[in-house]
Amino acid sequence: MPSRPGLLECIESYFAAAPLQDARIERAGALDVPLAAPAWPYPARPRRDGAGEPVTTEDVRTAIALQRAAGLPAALEWIPECSPEVFAAARAAGMPVEELPLLVADDPVDLVLPAGVRLFLVGADDPELPEFQRVADVAFAHPGGRADVREAPLDTSPEAQARTAALQERIADGRTVMMVAIENGRPVAVGSHQPVDLGGTVVSEIVGVATLPRLRARGLGAGIASALVAHARETADLVFLAAGDDDVARVYERVGFARLATTCVAELPD
C-alpha cells in the first residue's frame, strides 16, 4: 500500500475528478465549485491547482452564493491534513463543521451475512430501485431510532424521481455500483461504491451504507461494506470511505479498514 502522503494525494485527485462528468466547475478563489443538477450535487472543495493558495472566508461565501444561485445545497468538503486553513474560513462564513474519520481498506475481512439474508448487485433497470433508495433515506433520517421503512411512504415527488433517474444513469455507466441485502423478500440494507479512473489508477469510495434502524447490530452494514470492498478491489487500486463518527469507524476497523486522516463537511440549511 502506498505511503500516507500517496494515499491522500490519490483521494484528493479522486474528489477533483469525480464531478467532471456531471458538473461545470466554477472557481471561487481557491475553491472549485461543481455546478451540477440538483438531483446529484457535489460539494465545493479546495482547488487542486491552487499552488498553495489558501482558502479564505470570502472564497467560501462566494461558493455558497454560486451554489444557491444554481439551486444546490450550500456544502463544502475538504481534508484538513491537506488544507488546514479551510476550517477557520468555513466557520467564519457561518458554516458549522463536522469532522469525520477517513479510512482506507487495508486488510479487508470477508464477512458472512446473517442466515436468511441475501446480497444482490442492483441493475440500472431494477424496478425496486426507488424502494432501495427509501431504505437509505429512512436509515439516515433515524440514526438512533427504530423507524421502519414500511412506515415511510415512498417519495414520488419530481425531485425523488430525478434522483432515481440520476442513480439509474450512474449504475448503467458503471460510476455507481450498488448492493442491496434482502430478507424475507424485503430490502433491509444498501450500500454503494463509486469508482473513478485516474489515468490508469482506479480509486473507489464506499458511500451510502445504511441499515434499517430496527435491524441494526446484526452485522448487515459491515457485511455489505465487506462485499463492496471485495467488488471494488477487483479493479480499484485504492478503496476508501468517510465514517459517520468514531463508533462507526471502529466497526469498519474491525473489518479491515485503517484510519488515514479526517474529512471535514460543512453545510448550511436550505
Q: What is the pLDDT of residue 147?
A: 52
Cα–Cα distance measured from residue 217 to residue 246, given in angstroms and rounded to the nearest whole number: 16
Q: Is the dihedral of CA 143, 148, 150, 152 positive or negative?
A: negative
pLDDT digits (tens, 9 = 90+) for 136-174: 988 887 665 555 555 567 888 899 999 999 999 999 999
Query: Strand pairing partners for 27?
Result: 32
**Cell numbers found for residue 47:** 482547488
Rounded to whole angstroms, the Cα distance separating 78 from 32 reads 11
Residues of the chain with pLDDT under 50: 1-3
What pLDDT sits at residue 153?
Answer: 73
pTM above 0.85, yes or no: yes
Looking at residue 1, what is its pLDDT?
A: 46
Which of left, alpha, beta for 215 (phi over 0: left; psi -120 to 50: alpha)? alpha
Sign of CA dihedral 206, 99, 26, 94: positive
pLDDT digit string (tens) for 25-55?
999 999 999 999 999 999 999 998 756 789 9
Cα distances (angstroms) measured from residue 194 to each of 28, 171, 191, 238: 26, 9, 10, 12
pLDDT at 152: 67
